[in-house]
Amino acid sequence: MPSTTRKPRIDPARWQPPPVDPLPDPPQADLTVIPVTGNAPEDVVVDADGHIWTGVDDGRIVRISPNSGETTVVADTGGRPLGLHVARDGRLLICDSPRGLLAMDTSTGKIDTLVDGVDNRKLRFCSNVTETDDGTIYFTESTSAFTYAHSVAAVLEARGRGSLFRRDPDGTVLTLVPGLYFANGLTLTSDASALVFAELQARRLMKYWLTGPNAGTVTPLVQNLPGMPDNLSTGADGRIWCAFFTPANATADRLAQGPPLIRKLIWRLPSWLQPGPETVVWVAAFDPDTGKAVAGLRTEHPEFGQVTGMVEADGRLWMACLGFPAVAHCPIP
């Protein structure tokens, strides 16, 4: 993720990466790739009318016709739109770095700021968002130290600077779970009993319980994932879809355990000299209760890869990615 801005300093910590537990080999799939207006559509959601929505790296919010593939630019956040969610009032909730949590009227493109700061500081890397039926909004921040433009810095630091937050209908914002290792994907279980959130660097999916005897606590759903989990979504049957941005990297894991100075030196290198992610099309779905893998796909495509988001819509699985100026879809695996 290259940046033209001056690099901030990093403060790496020695960190013990999790082991890797392989997942069952998923089938390949025939992808239909749809070019979009702009590069690296990071997330993808579907509204009540069946339109597909995404946000690209120059700030534009794009609506896609699911049948024709026609794209329409509806708004510009002025930042970098990341995770999206269609709110119960029809507005599009947008996590933007560095603008914060936004809400957009999908008919006019008018954008309102819902949250631009937490704990007496500015939000820097708002990552993903979801909403419950009572209007409570939950959102993640990947790191409090860097913006999306310097997301690699957060991984090299290997410090738990991410968080899960709650915004009440009256606008009050509370920190629910601090100390997360690159928090990103977030989705509500189909029975609304819990949130599932992803920690990219810790390579795990966790549940924050909203109801029942575990309410207010965090328990693991899936740990020791073999890839870097990104955005999440909940399927029609309750399964939890997880996008894998790239497979786990043994070299990166060794660096995390080694002297912090080496990672400082790597950070000073030009972006094109730093180790890059592997380009693959990879998603998996997990049982929301047991964490067992129940579906997925893994393949390669010359015009699509580095998947960061997905959503079920009308019998198809739509996917977003960072590696190409396109979204893609295939029959639901």
CB atoms within 10 A of CB 290: 10
Rounded to an integer, the average pLDDT of 12-38 is 94
Rounded to an integer, the average pLDDT of 19-24 is 96
- Find where tokens 């000299």 sit: 273
Residue ranges of alpha helices (H) inside 158-259 are 250-257
> What letter would DSSP give residue 262?
H
Token pair in block for residue 97: 């770095």
Closest CA to 16 of 202, 143, 198, 245: 202
pTM tops 0.75: yes
Residues of the chain with pLDDT > 70, as a percent, come to: 98
What pLDDT, on a 0 to 100 scale, did the predictor assign at position 1?
Answer: 43
Contact (CB, 8 A) for 82 and 53: no
φ, ψ of residue 329 in degrees (nearest 5):
-145, 160
Q: Residue 9 pLDDT > 90, yes or no?
A: yes
Closest CA to 80 of 100, 109, 52, 53: 100
Confidence of residue 5 (pLDDT cuts 50, 70, 90): low
Q: Residue 275 pLDDT > 80, yes or no?
A: no
pLDDT in tens, 229-240: 999 999 999 999
Instruction: Return the minimum-mean-pLDDT range out of 3-7, 32-36, 329-333.
Output: 3-7
Question: How far is Cα 164 from Cα 106, in angstroms, rounded to an integer?
Answer: 26
- Find where tokens 């893609």 sit: 328
Q: Residue 302 pLDDT > 80, yes or no?
A: yes
Rounded to an integer, the average pLDDT of 203-209 is 98
pLDDT in tens, 215-257: 999 999 999 999 999 999 999 999 999 999 999 999 999 999 9
pLDDT in tens, 185-199: 999 999 999 999 999
pLDDT in tens, 76-134: 999 999 999 999 999 999 999 999 999 999 999 999 999 999 999 999 999 999 999 99
Token pair in block for residue 34: 């749809």
